[in-house]
Structure 1
């Protein structure tokens, strides 16, 4: 679902992802791509898609539950939040392992590419979020 917030110049995407449904990751990317349209500097939308994919995948793989993705694009930039429904901490990024494994590097990408990111604990679950300023709108 995509909606415009009247008078704010913001548009929002909100999507529920079922438990362990990794097929939903490309669907969320596609919906985000449609929301962003011509937003930001060249490459900004692609970075947003990559980081969103990482957070959604993490929520599905590491919690065993579903998730809710909310993306809000406004003149000031983009904020993506991925909410899961299990308690537990998100481990901060550590240095990449010396092997060639790609597992466990999602939050390193988020930390490296986002303008801001964080985790907010909720009564049930948590929200992992990132922001991109994106430049032009």
Structure 2
């Protein structure tokens, strides 16, 4: 398979369902890193490492807190050449959404993983979807900017 290097006017995307298990969460992170490499953002770069950490946290949360028996979680990556950002979306089937999710990112007693997401992402949030919710984060890094120019 030939690498697809992003250009400034492109939007590339990757979408995959994974089993809502720890193994599925690890596979999501690994396949995402492979996809970034295919898009011209190599393993071990600042952007790749940041996205890996964000995916690890959001996928672990989907498996741990968003798991519904018999339902998978979805990972979506969007490389936006115009805005020079990588958007990570992890959707799970659990409809109930913690209204304090954003506040927990600042809570010393919980949400430490979300503190990491908050530190690595330009912005992040939660939105409802038809079934369940989507937690999203946008990462902008020099690697994305470099690859897109």
TM interval, shorter chain, is 0.7 to 0.9
Between the aligned partners of 1:53 and 1:119, the Cα distance in structure 2 is 17
Pairwise CA RMSD of aligned residues?
2.2
Using the size of structure 1 for normalisation, the TM-score is: 0.80
1-structure distance, mates of 2:66, 2:27: 20
- State the Cα deviation string for residues 50-97 of structure 1 (Å, max 9, x = none): 101100110110022321110011321200111111212242213323
1:57 and 2:60 are equivalent in the alignment: yes
> Is it true that 1:94 corresponds to 2:96 in the alignment?
no
Q: What is the CA-CA distance between 1:27 and the residue it aligns to? A: 1.3
2:93 aligned residue:
85
Q: Distance in 2 between matches of 1:69 and 1:89?
A: 18
Q: Number of paired residues?
A: 126
* SS at structure 2 position matched to 1:58: helix
Residue 132 (structure 1) shift: 0.8
Aligned to 2:11: 10
Aligned to 1:111: 118
User: Any conservation in 2 of the 1:71–1:79 contact (CA below 8 Å)?
Assistant: yes
Bigger shift: residues 37-46 or 88-97: 37-46
Distance 1:42 1:64, change over 3 A: closer
Provide the C-alpha distance between the structure 2 equivalents of 1:106 and 1:43, rounded to a whole number of angstroms.
18
**TM-score normalized by the length of structure 2:** 0.74
Distance 1:62 1:88 in 2: 10
Gaps spanning 5+ residues in structure 2: where?
A: none
Partner of 1:25: 25
For residues 33 and 67 of structure 2, what CA distance do their matches in structure 1 show? 26
Check conservation: 1:12, 1:35, Cα contact below 8 A.
Answer: no
What's the CA shift for 1:9? 2.4
- Unaligned 5+ runs, structure 1: 98-102
